[in-house]
């Protein structure tokens, strides 16, 4: 429809302009144009997210390549069972997010509400487990930088020799008794390497920023759930569900790399 047509035949304008669907902004040609624009914008946002996280992955790579002993020692203090459960929780949440896109595309309102609610539930499950892990770390003094003050019980819990003082305390290295071997996994022998606090700096920075993304995701999903209950989404308008799911999958992707890099160091 050119401007010339509009000017030449004003009565036809009404016929050509179909009633505009709700939530389609004026500056888009139509639902598809709006969806494609939003999707491209979301992918570009995800690129900035990947580049942003890559800064922390880069710090990780440099510290680990320079000080592998810190990572293999400190990783033993992380609970790989909890980390593994959290990975599964996040994958399940990713599944329900992907399913919510399907429901929205097919106009299944009840299914959409259910899958959105399950996605939020998964996110809360993840944060709950993360909270338990963080409180253990705080209790055991496994904290970044100057706040690092590992408790001897925590060292004993992972099968290390608690009688060896933390290197940061600078006490003498007296003849230590044999390390306990009764725990399931093989402990690193010998005293604690210097600068273990660096590992916990990286651990809290990476999982903390990731956790912040989970919290933001919950906020967006609650908004989607409210709109889904109001019946806003339809097969020709489901962009917000699709784009939020892309964000949620990226949060899952980052955890997929964080889990082996932090918890599963041999």
Partner 1 sequence: MSHEEHAAGGAHVMSPKVLLGIWGALIFLTALTVWSAQHDLGRIDLVVAMGIATIKASLVALYFMHLRYDKGFHGVVIIGALVFVFLFVSMVLLDRNQYQADIDARTIELEAR
Residues at the interface with partner 1 (CB under 8 A): 31-32, 35-36, 39-40, 43-44, 46-47, 50-51, 54, 57-58, 61-62, 65-66, 80, 84, 87-88, 91-92, 94-95, 97-99, 101-102, 105-106, 185, 235-236, 238, 245-246, 249-250, 252-253, 256-257, 259-261, 264-266
Nearer to partner 1, 71 or 204 (CB): 71
Residue 217, both tokens: 């995701």
Q: How far apart are CA 51 and CA 195, in angstroms?
A: 27
Q: Shortest distance, CB of residue 29 to partner 1, whole angstroms?
A: 12
The DSSP output letter for 21 is: P
Query: How far apart, in Å, are the Cα atoms of 48 and each of 43, 214, 218, 243?
Result: 9, 17, 20, 15
Nearer to partner 1, 104 or 150 (CB): 104
Nearer to partner 1, 84 or 138 (CB): 84
Q: Shortest distance, CB of residue 9 to partner 1, whole angstroms?
A: 29
Residue pair 229/178 in contact (Cβ under 8 Å)? The answer is: no
Q: Shortest distance, CB of residue 13 to partner 1, whole angstroms?
A: 24
Nearer to partner 1, 95 or 117 (CB): 95
Nearer to partner 1, 71 or 162 (CB): 71
Q: How far apart are CA 251 and CA 170, in angstroms?
A: 40
Please tell me the number of Cα atoms within 13 Å of 206 on its side-chain side.
26
Dihedral sign computed on CA atoms, order 82, 87, 91, 97: positive
Nearer to partner 1, 80 or 151 (CB): 80
Nearer to partner 1, 106 or 226 (CB): 106
Residue 167, both tokens: 């290197």
Q: What are phi and psi of 234, to 5 degrees?
A: -145, 165
Q: How far apart are CA 197 and CA 19, in angstroms?
A: 62
Residue 145, both tokens: 């930088």
Q: Shortest distance, CB of residue 120 to partner 1, whole angstroms?
A: 17
Q: What are phi and psi of 237, to 5 degrees?
A: -150, 95
Vertex 143: Cα angle to 138 and 146 (nearest 5): 130
């Amino acid at each position: 429809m050119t401007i010339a047509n509009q000017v030449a035949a004003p009565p036809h304008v009404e016929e050509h302009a179909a009633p505009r669907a709700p939530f389609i902004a004026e500056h888009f040609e139509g639902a598809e144009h709006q969806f494609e624009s939003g999707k491209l914008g979301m992918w570009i946002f995800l690129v900035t997210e990947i580049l942003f996280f890559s800064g922390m992955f880069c710090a990780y790579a440099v510290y680990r390549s320079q000080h592998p002993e810190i990572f293999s020692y400190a990783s033993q203090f992380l609970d790989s069972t909890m980390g593994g459960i959290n990975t599964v929780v996040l994958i399940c949440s990713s599944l329900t997010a992907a399913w919510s896109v399907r429901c929205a595309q097919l106009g299944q309102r009840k299914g959409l509400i259910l899958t959105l609610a399950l996605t939020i539930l998964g996110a809360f499950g993840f944060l709950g487990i993360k909270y338990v892990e963080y409180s253990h770390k705080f209790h055991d003094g496994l904290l970044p930088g100057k706040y690092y003050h590992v408790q001897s019980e925590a060292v004993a819990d992972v099968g290390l020799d608690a009688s060896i003082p933390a290197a940061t305390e600078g006490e003498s290295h007296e003849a230590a008794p044999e390390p306990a071997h009764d725990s399931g996994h093989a402990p690193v022998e010998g005293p604690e390497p210097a600068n273990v606090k660096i590992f916990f700096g990286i651990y809290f920075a990476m999982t903390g920023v990731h956790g912040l993304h989970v919290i933001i995701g919950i906020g967006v999903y609650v908004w989607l759930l409210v709109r889904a209950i109001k019946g806003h989404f339809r097969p020709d308008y489901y962009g917000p569900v699709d784009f939020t799911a892309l964000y949620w999958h990226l949060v899952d992707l980052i955890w997929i790399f964080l889990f082996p890099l932090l918890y599963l160091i041999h």
